[in-house]
Amino acid sequence: MGGGVHDARNVGWSGDEPVARAAGGGVKVGVIRRGKNEPENVDIVREKLGPAKIVGQKTDPDILALRLTTLEAGRADEVRARLQDAEKQGAHKVILDLRSCGRGPVSEALAVARLLISSGNLATLRGQTVSAQTFGAEPSKVIWKGPVSVLIDGTTSGAAEVLASAIVSTHRGDVVGERTFGLASEQKLITIDDGSALILTVANYYNADGKSILEEGVTPSEVVRPEAAAADDGADDDDSANGTPATAPAEARPLSPEDAVFRKAIELLKTPAKKAA
């Protein structure tokens, strides 16, 4: 797919240049769709989009599923509230879906992990110019002691990988799906004299076994490859069924029984003697 902004071709532009050129609240975007030669002009209004809300659903009387598409600041507080409410309603097991979760600080991932994990090392940060830091569980912060399953795949990255890795390393629960992307690191923005900038990785996050999450990703304890239909999140080049560009943040979709990864997590949670916090 290609196109332009304000009638200027974007061939050879950097990733941020179209946004920089599109000053103001409104912008006309030319989009060349797959299989077409001429651009389609679309008028849109630029705005800052917030993170999609957590989707929570009870799949069984005692199982709560939470779908997180980001780990933005404040997400741990939202997870805490959801877990406390679920416990009051009789849920005793939880599924965290971290697929397509690639935004947010690692501090938020650690905060979520500490709601679930009562002991052990969660992650270590190391770099040539960064002092090593080990992040451990904090028993006083645990609010969920029931069984846990986490869903991951190649779209799980960054902070979400640190959370998934902590669950695996501490044997807190099953991690189901496919290997994650491998992007858990700390980066630094360096401004160049000409106004451009470089983003440099200055430190990597390691799991409790000392393996770099950046280099190896997180391998699930239960490998499950999703069916094509279930893996499709519904997004396509047309943005919506009628071709109208989306004007609001994409909301996380509810989990489906057709999802093989989700089904496996439920199966594992129903297996007796799952490890508690």
- Is 121 contained in some domain? yes
Q: What is the pLDDT of residue 16?
A: 52
pLDDT range class, residue 277, cuts 50, 70, 90: low
Partners of 94 in beta bridges: 64, 148
Per-chain mean pLDDT for the chain: 84
Structural domain for 106, as ranges? 55-231+247-269
* 219 pLDDT above the threshold of 90: yes
Residues facing 191 on adjacent strands: 197
- 152 by DSSP, 3-state: which? strand
E strands, the chain, where? 2-5, 8-9, 26-32, 40-45, 55-60, 63-67, 93-97, 121-127, 130-136, 148-152, 174-177, 185-191, 197-206, 222-223
pLDDT confidence of residue 24? 55
Sorted by sequence, the CB contacts under 8 Å of residue 22 that are 6+ apart come out as 5, 6, 29, 46
Query: What Å distances lie between residue 54 and 2, 57, 162, 193, CA to CA?
Result: 32, 10, 19, 41
Arithmetic mean of pLDDT, 120-128: 97
Considering the domain architecture, whether residues 170 and 140 belong to the same structural domain is answered as yes
Contact 113, 164 (CB under 8 A): no
pLDDT 10s digits, 34-47: 778 888 888 877 77
- φ and ψ at 195, to 5 degrees? 95, -15
The answer to which of 18-27, 191-200, 202-211 has the lowest mean pLDDT is 18-27
Residues 122 and 218 in one domain: yes
103 and 37 in a common domain: no
Of 11-15, 121-125, 149-153, 169-173, the poorest mean pLDDT is in: 11-15
Is residue 69 one of the residues assigned to a domain?
Answer: yes
Does the residue 216 lie in any domain? Answer: yes
> In terms of domains, do 166 and 226 share one?
yes
Same structural domain for residues 93 and 117?
Answer: yes
143 lies in some domain = yes
Q: Tens digit of pLDDT for each residue in 51-88? A: 678 989 998 889 999 999 999 999 999 999 999 999 99
Residues 37, 69, single domain; the answer is: no
Residue 249: predicted pLDDT: 44
Q: What's at 86, amino acid-wise?
A: A
Sorting pLDDT into bands at 50, 70 and 90, what band is 184?
very high
Residues 205 and 88 in one domain: yes
Domain membership flag for residue 274: no
Residue 145 lies in a domain: yes
Q: Are residues 71 and 181 in the same domain?
A: yes
**Residue with the larger pLDDT of the pair 82 and 251:** 82
Q: Has residue 240 been placed in a domain?
A: no
- 227-237: pLDDT as tens digits: 754 444 444 44
Top-confidence residue, 194 or 5 = 194
Q: Of 63-67, 188-192, 252-256, where does mean pLDDT reach its minimum?
A: 252-256
Looking at 4-8, 142-146, 165-169, 215-219, which range is the least confident one?
A: 4-8
| Residue 160's CATH number | 3.90.226.10
Question: What pLDDT does 272 receive?
Answer: 78
- Domain shared by 136 and 83, yes or no: yes
Contact predicate 130/186, CB 8 Å:
yes
pLDDT for 52: 73
Same domain for 23 and 83, yes or no, is: no
Is-contact 179 154, C-beta < 8 A? yes
State whether 164 and 197 are in the same domain.
yes
Exposure string of 16-37, with b = 16+ CB inside 10 Å and e = fewer, is eebeeebeeeebebbbeeeeee
Rg (CA), the chain: 21
Above 70 in pLDDT, residue 20? no
236 domain-assigned: no
Is 95 within 8 Å of 65 (Cβ atoms)? yes
Number of independent structural domains in the chain? 2
* 199 shares a domain with 99: yes
